[in-house]
């Protein structure tokens, strides 16, 4: 804050700047991009798990899921459920903005969570949380490793 500038003035300026940026965004295109990215992720997961499904080791199902975003309002997508014996994993898309990402899906099993984000032009990434958050490309191999860790808790 500069001299003579109040917190109220700073916040007014930031709100005005934010509103100007938001007014230039095609929110319908962003919504379509998010829903398409989520569908692409689920298609990949289904392809990767197809051999396990065919053996009866895993069951996958999709169901409608409503998302909400401040700029996009309420819109429809899907969530994916994976059952491996008595262990379940839900792949749940999040509606809010993630800095730089066009979509986010969290894989949740009990108290454990794995976050995947879609970066425009780069595809899906796993967020690896440790002392520092890092990203790794989401591939069949990285997905298998992350899912194994998630299921082991």
Model confidence at 98: pLDDT above 80: no
pLDDT of residue 88 exceeding 80, the answer is yes
CA dist 25 and 8 (Å) reads 26
67: burial class by Cβ within 10 Å (0-12, 13-18, 19+)? buried
Reduced to 3 states, what is the DSSP secondary structure of residue 17? Answer: helix
Q: Which pLDDT does position 72 carry in this prediction?
A: 84
- Residue 63 has a CB neighbour count (10 Å cut-off) of 9
Q: Name the token pair of 146.
A: 């992350």
Which residues on neighbouring strands pair with residue 131, listed in sequence order?
none
User: pLDDT tens across 19-64, in order?
Assistant: 676 677 788 888 999 999 999 999 999 999 999 999 999 999 999 9
Cα angle value 65/71/76 (rounded, 5°): 15
Longest dimension (CA), the chain: 70
100: left (phi over 0), alpha (psi -120 to 50) or beta: left
For 69-85, what is the mean pLDDT?
A: 92
Q: What pTM, to 2 d.p., does this model score?
A: 0.83
pLDDT tens digits along 105-139: 999 999 999 999 999 999 999 998 776 778 999 99
CA 43 to chain centre: 15
């Amino acid at each position: 804050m500069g001299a003579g500038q109040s917190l109220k003035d700073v916040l007014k300026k930031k709100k005005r700047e934010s509103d100007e940026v938001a007014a230039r965004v095609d929110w319908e295109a962003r919504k379509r991009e998010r829903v398409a990215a989520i569908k692409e992720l689920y298609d990949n997961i289904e392809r990767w798990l197809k051999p396990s499904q065919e053996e009866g080791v895993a069951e996958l199902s999709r169901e409608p899921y409503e998302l909400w975003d401040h700029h996009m309002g309420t819109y429809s997508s899907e969530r994916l459920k994976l059952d491996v014996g008595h262990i379940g994993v839900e792949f749940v898309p999040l509606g809010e903005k993630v800095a730089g990402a066009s979509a986010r899906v969290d894989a949740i099993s009990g108290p454990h969570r794995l976050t995947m984000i879609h970066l425009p032009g780069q595809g899906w990434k796993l967020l690896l949380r440790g002392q520092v958050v890092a990203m790794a490309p989401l591939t069949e191999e990285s997905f298998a490793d992350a899912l194994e860790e998630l299921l082991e808790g």
